[in-house]
A and B are shown apart, each in its own frame.
Chain A
Amino acid sequence: MTHTLARQAPTLGDRASRWGTIALGVGVIALAAAAYFGWAREDGFKRLQHAWLVACAFWLSISLGGLFFVIVQHLTRAGWSVVVRRVAELVAANTLVTAILFAPLVAMVLKGDASLYPWADPHHVAEHPLLAAKAPWLDAKFFALRVVVYFGTWFLIGRWLLKRSTEQDGASGVEPTLALERRAPPAMVAFALTLNFAAFDLLMSVVPTWYSTIFGVYVFAGSVMSFFAFSVVALRFLQKHGLLEREVNVEHYHDLGKFLFAFVFFWSYIAFSQFMLIWYADLPEETFWFKTRMEGPWAIVSVVLLFGHFLLPFAGLLSRHAKRRLGILTFWAVWLLVMQAVDMFWLVMPSVETSANPVTLAGIVSPIDVACLVGAGGIWLFALTKLAGGRALIPVNDPRLPQSLAFENF
């Protein structure tokens, strides 16, 4: 049975280069637009850096969510997910491109440009006792080294998972699968540590005086959620183009939907935990971060997150029927991807002071943000098609493939 499947293993084929070219084209045009809008603005360079961080964090979070998913599948020896795992492996292995996308931001820090990370300016640090205490950690060279370690870890784990899984496609035994299962636990530990500290370094240190120990978990929750949303959208896209039509069915979507629902709630749980402790303790060095986000137009963005990232999708995905109707599930998946972008925007962008007075919602959103998101996305998707290339889109020879194909929910 597996052999018949292997012969007709679905691949992107020549679609890979066609879609890749489109993605790259759109990405480059969007980047040019971002540069144009940035050039036209007085604080354009600063804005551009912030918008670029939002965009890179958004696409990186999808890859990291995928990495988590793949490791968990091997960790638990999951059977149901085999048919959707290859797409996840490709997403998880797509971290080299995000490292390249992040590189300019790290270069700015090394150059001493503090428009994104205020701690990159030694004079600024010297004036703030709180920052002076953190100076050994928030050091440009050490920061760059850590970023290299994070991306290196993700790249190695992601590529190794993909390599071994592809190896299984043509193997006669199950040795590659066993190797994946053996290495999954240390991979999970490495993933947890790197994601947590990367969240502190890349996102939290935009406001270097603020701290929240749960921040890494918050970023993790959003990442995994956005991966499941992306996974649903990607599989639906492939099926629209005649790929994986027989292999992936409503049962698999149902399970992806359950995960999506679970992580919508997990994100909300963590977001509220972070907010409530700070609200209750009421310490000025912690509350100012939320105060910024509860005033003026940022209050609107916060309410958008409360409803858009929690209450509405929670109610919308609660029912079994919603998760099994692909139209509804895809709608919420797209919706939640947008919300993940809004969340990253909400984390980073309030650091940019605006000259407009009074500050309006239109004043805090800029075409630069959208252009950067699309630009980074185009390049990220281009790399994804390169990676997918001639590979089979399901692990055709996986020992648990029959189990996954026959999978049924209760």
Chain B
Amino acid sequence: MVESAIQAGAKPVYGVLAEFDDVDSIAKAAREVRDAGYERFDVYSPFPIHGIEREMGLRPTKLPWIVLVCGLSGTSLALFFQWWSNAVDYPFKISGKPLFGIPANIPVTFEFTVLLSAFAAFFGMLVLNKLPELHRPVFESQRFRRATDDRYFLAIEANDPLFDAKRTSELLQKLTRNPVELCHDSGQSGALPSWLRAGFVGVAALALLPLAATVWARAFDTTRPPIHIVRDMDSQQRFRAQVANPVFADGRAMRPDPLGTVAWGELGASGAAQAGKRGDTFVDAFPLPVTSNLLERGRERFAVYCTPCHGQSGYGDGLVALRASELQEQNWVQPSSLHDPLVRTRPVGQIYDTIVNGVRTMPAYGRQVSSDDAWAITAYVKALQRSQNASVDDVPLPERAKLGVQ
């Protein structure tokens, strides 16, 4: 049968294929074939056979060394990049930790070591096994289909130096009771189709684009603003607080309530809002006793709500004001100094009214600050004004010694 097959085949011979019934017989056959001096042969089985590589005389794989080298590269690359990016290129102190604090860098280093090791193991395995291989001439045998089911095959390839179609077939026939067949190479390629390979190259090239863009951005300076692909809500078209709006005659983007309207939820607040006035005149007496507790509360609330613009001492030099003048904001109205003679002579009712209802660009604080707290702040403002315009006569006698004055 084999002889006739040799004569009939115009196609080149790929090798001889033998079929086995069980693991033991194929393991024995692999050893026989190896002992006969063959080197270019392979065993096909539905599952991995323990120890078959020993029977076949395969050399131990080089894969562990590839994984080791890639793993160590991962370790050193991750450490190097964290050191370079955080301690050298853009020194950035985080949580008071050293710029290059090893413990903080270990998790990334660990993950990157594992990542590169896994890549090396997976792709190294593919490369060493010359995979993917979509076709082998043995696939053309009808009986070979059972190699993924319940049969075991051994194929000796024709390019083995010892190969001789007749003698090799006889050797295998001695080892199995199943018919041994000659395989021909129909010339079909086992390589990936060219369009798929082109696709992989294309994807790989695309994957390099972000890297190229990063390198480009680092290498060249530009005055143009960054490209903002997803605009989100942080760059929407709207007017921000305190900016100019040419639509309105007064040029303000923040609109005051139209005359005669009351905002939602403010009806009940009108009592507090009006508490600074009796009729149309501002009151000049506190409606609650002025105690040191009230002043202390006022000092604390003043620090929370007033100091950002008016400053700790009330001269209108708070951080917001300083920042605004540094940016030369067109529509910024300088906050008043609380020690301006005009402000100092105002009745307490008017100061209270300013806090609760606002004035000019100063917003109304009636919603954040309760009526009592607004009075407390008023009391503190009065104390603050007094403190900045006091003479030594205001200091009680026992205290003067402490200040070193008479």
B37-58: contact bitstring with A at CB < 8 Å (1 yes, 0 no)? Answer: 0000000000010110000000
Question: In the docked arrangement, what's the CA distance between A162 and B51, Å?
Answer: 34
Let me know if A410 and B48 touch, CB within 8 A. Answer: yes
A280–B50 CB distance below 8 A: no
Distance in angstroms between the alpha carbons of A282 and B104 in the assembled complex: 12
Across the two chains, which residue of chain B brings its CB closest to A319?
A: B64
Chain A residue with minimal CB distance to B68? Answer: A318
**The stretch of A4-12, A59-67, A271-279 that contacts the partner chain:** A271-279
A-contacting 9-mer, from B95-103, B219-227, B254-262, B365-373: B95-103
Which residues 149-199 of B have a CB within 8 angstroms of A?
A: none
Q: Are B96 and A276 in contact (CB under 8 A)?
A: no
Q: Which of A249-272 contact B (CB under 8 A)?
A: 272
Closest B residue to A320 by CB, please name it: B64
Q: How far is the CB of A320 from chain B (nearest CB, A)?
A: 7
Find the A residue at minimum CB distance from B94: A280
Closest beta carbon of chain A to B111's beta carbon, Å: 12
Residue A245 CB within 8 A of the other chain: no
Chain A residues lying within 8 Å of B64, measured Cβ to Cβ, are: 319-320
Q: How far is the CB of A300 from chain B (nearest CB, A)?
A: 18
> Is A280 a contact partner of B106 (Cβ separation < 8 A)?
no
Task: Determine the interface band of chain A, counting residues with CB < 8 A from chain B.
Answer: 10 to 19
Check B51–A272 contact: CB distance below 8 A.
Answer: no
Residues A279 and B103 in contact, CB atoms below 8 Å apart: yes
Question: Does A408 make an interface contact (CB < 8 A)?
Answer: yes
Q: Please tell me which one of the listed residues B68, B96, B97, B103 contacts residue A275 in the complex, with CB atoms under 8 A apart.
A: B103
Question: Is the CB–CB distance between A280 and B48 below 8 Å?
Answer: no
**Chain A 278-312: CB-based contact to B (< 8 A → 1; otherwise 0):** 01101000000000000000000000000000000
B64 → A minimal CB distance (Å): 7
Within 8 A of A (CB), among B77-117: 95-97, 103-104, 106-107
- Residue pairs across A and B with CB atoms within 8 Å: the count is 22
What is the CB-to-nearest-CB distance from A396 to chain B, in angstroms, rounded to a whole number? 24
Q: Kindly list chain B residues whose C-beta atoms are within 8 Å of the C-beta of A276.
A: 103-104, 106-107
Q: With the chains together, A185 CA to B96 CA distance in Å? A: 46
Residues of B within 8 A of A275 (CB): 103
Question: In the complex, which of the residues B103, B104, B107 has the most CB atoms of chain A within 10 Å of its own CB atom?
Answer: B103
From A280, A318, A319, A320, give the contact of B104 (CB < 8 A).
Answer: A280
Contact with A along B310-325 (1 / 0, CB 8 A): 0000000000000000
Bound complex: CA of A408 vs CA of B107, how far in Å? 35
Q: Is the CB of B51 within 8 A of A280?
A: no
Residues of chain B with a CB closer than 8 A to A318's CB? 68
Chain A contacts for B51, CB-based, 8 A = 408
A410 & B50 in contact (Cβ 8 Å cutoff): yes
Contact between B96 and A282, CB atoms less than 8 A apart = yes
Distance between B86 CB and nearest chain A CB, rounded to angstroms:
15
Q: How far is the CA of A409 from the CA of B52 in the complex (A)?
A: 11
Q: Return A315 CB to nearest CB of chain B, in Å.
A: 10
Rounded to whole Å, the gap between the CB of A366 and the closest CB of chain B is 31
Q: Smallest CB–CB gap between B371 and chain A, Å? A: 41
From A273, which residue of chain B is reached at the shortest CB distance? B107
0/1 string, B62-78, CB within 8 A of A gives 1: 00100010000000000
Q: Which residues of A contact B50 (CB under 8 A)?
A: 408-410
Q: How far is the CB of A293 from chain B (nearest CB, A)?
A: 14
Q: What is the CA–CA distance of A272 and B48 in the complex, to the nearest angstrom?
A: 38
**Is the beta-carbon distance between A280 and B95 smaller than 8 angstroms?**
yes
A318 to B64, CA, bound (A): 10
A316 vs chain B, min Cβ distance (A): 14
Decide: A280 and B103 in contact? CB cutoff 8 A.
yes
Q: How far is the CA of A276 from the CA of B96 in the complex (A)?
A: 15
Whole-angstrom distance from the CB of A271 to the nearest CB of chain B?
A: 11
Which residue in chain A gives the minimum CB-CB distance to B50?
A408
Q: What residue of chain B has the Cβ atom nearest to residue A407's Cβ?
A: B50
Looking at A275, A276, A320, the one whose CB has the most chain B CB atoms below 10 A away is A276
Residues on the A chain within 8 Å of B48, using CB: 410
Q: How far is the CA of A272 from the CA of B106 in the complex (A)?
A: 9
Assembled-state Cα–Cα distance A319/B97 (Å): 36
Least distance between A99 CB and chain B CB atoms (Å): 38
Question: How far, in whole Å, are A408 and B52 apart by their CA atoms in the complex?
Answer: 11
A282, A408, A409, A410: which contacts B95 (Cβ < 8 A)? A282
Q: How far apart are the CA atoms of A409 and B60 in the complex, in Å?
A: 14
Give residues of chain A (55-87) contacting chain B, Cβ–Cβ below 8 Å: none
Output the least CB separation between A2 and chain B (Å). 21
Residues in chain A near residue B106, CB distance under 8 A: 272, 276
Inter-chain contacts of A410 with B (CB < 8 A): 48, 50
Chain B residue at minimum C-beta to C-beta distance from A276: B103
Q: B314 CB to closest chain A CB, in angstroms? A: 39
Q: Which residue of B lies closest to A408 (CB)?
A: B50
List chain A residues, Cβ under 8 A from B68.
318
Please name all residues of chain B whose beta carbon is closer than 8 Å to the beta carbon of A319 when the two chains form the complex. Answer: 64
Please give the distance in Å from A92's CB to the nearest CB on chain B: 29
Max chain B Cβ within 10 angstroms of own Cβ: one of A282, A319, A410: A410
Complex: A410 Cα to B47 Cα, angstroms: 12
Residues of A within 8 A of B107 (CB): 276
Bound complex: CA of A383 vs CA of B151, how far in Å? 54
User: How distant is the Cα of A320 from the Cα of B61 in the complex, in angstroms?
Assistant: 12
Q: Which residue of B lies closest to A406 (CB)?
A: B50
CB of B106, distance to nearest CB on chain A (Å) = 6
Which residue of A has the minimal Cβ distance to B54? Answer: A408
**Of all chain A residues, which has the CB nearest B71?**
A318
- On chain B, the residues within 8 Å of A282 by CB distance are 95-96
Question: For the complex, what is the distance from the CA of A320 to the CA of B62, rounded to whole Å?
Answer: 12
In the bound complex, CA of A272 to CA of B96 (Å): 20
**Chain B, 266-305, contact with A by CB distance < 8 Å: what is the 0/1 string?**
0000000000000000000000000000000000000000
Q: Chain B's nearest CB lies how many Å from the CB of A323?
A: 12
Q: Which residue of A lies closest to B96 (CB)?
A: A282
A280 and B95 CA atoms in complex are apart in Å by 8
Task: Give the shortest distance, in Å, between A284 (CB) and chain B (any CB).
Answer: 14
Interface 1/0 per residue, A21-40 and B, CB below 8 Å: 00000000000000000000
Q: State the 5 A-B residue pairs at the shortest beta-carbon distance, nearest first.
A: A408-B50, A276-B103, A279-B103, A408-B51, A272-B106
12 further interface pairs, Cβ-Cβ under 8 Å (given A320-B64, A409-B50): A272-B103, A275-B103, A276-B106, A276-B107, A280-B97, A280-B103, A280-B104, A282-B95, A318-B68, A319-B64, A408-B50, A410-B48
Q: List 12 A-B contacts (CB under 8 A).
A: A275-B103, A276-B103, A279-B103, A280-B95, A280-B97, A282-B96, A319-B64, A320-B64, A408-B51, A409-B50, A410-B48, A410-B50
